[in-house]
Amino acid sequence: MTEKLNIDLSQTPEKFQDLGHEILDFLIGKLLLIDALEQEIYDRYQVLEEKRVSPNQTHPDEEDLWDEYAQRCKEIIAPISIKTYNDSRSFGKPTAYEYLSYPDTKISLIMKSENRAVVETYFEHGIAKKEQFVLKKDNNSWKIDTKKYGFPDEDKWWKDEI
């Protein structure tokens, strides 16, 4: 899954690099699941939008679509997140993790212990942006502790949701 990605392991000691690949496969796999779901829901929403009686009214099935999206996001995110899932996700075009398919996206893994890993992504999504995922070992499985975003020319990170 990570073979085609531009991954930098230079900040991870050799002894953690195999584990690092396992973590990257886990994280990127889950982000791609979220991305595919967002794309599917967005496409279905577009169909409902075209069926509206008036552009100022919602389609009767839109609320059910939002409920389904929230439930399916929860099924993906809740088991992999240390924090309680907050169903505040939205969908759109481009999708939140579409950048994982961009050839210029850079992914950096920083791992100093076997119980914590930091994955940073650098990409252009209209503007240059970066995201940071902190993963921690939780009962022999990896979970996302925090997600943040920022801009490459700044040192500051801002809290974000998965």
Per-residue pLDDT band for 85 (boundaries 50, 70, 90) equals confident
Q: For every residue of 3-14, which 3-state class applies, written as one string?
A: CCCEEECCCCCH
For the chain, what is the mean pLDDT? 92
Tokens of 148: 């943040």
Taking only the tens place, the pLDDT of each residue in 35-53 is: 999 999 999 999 999 999 8
pTM above 0.85, yes or no: yes
Is the Cα torsion angle 123, 124, 129, 135 positive or negative in sign?
negative
DSSP structure class, residue 82 = S
Q: Sketch the domain layout of the chain as residue ranges.
A: 6-160
Task: Using the predicted structure, report yes or no on whether residue 159 has a pLDDT greater than 80.
Answer: yes
Task: Using the predicted structure, report yes or no on whether residue 78 has a pLDDT greater than 90.
Answer: yes
Per-residue pLDDT band for 55 (boundaries 50, 70, 90) equals confident
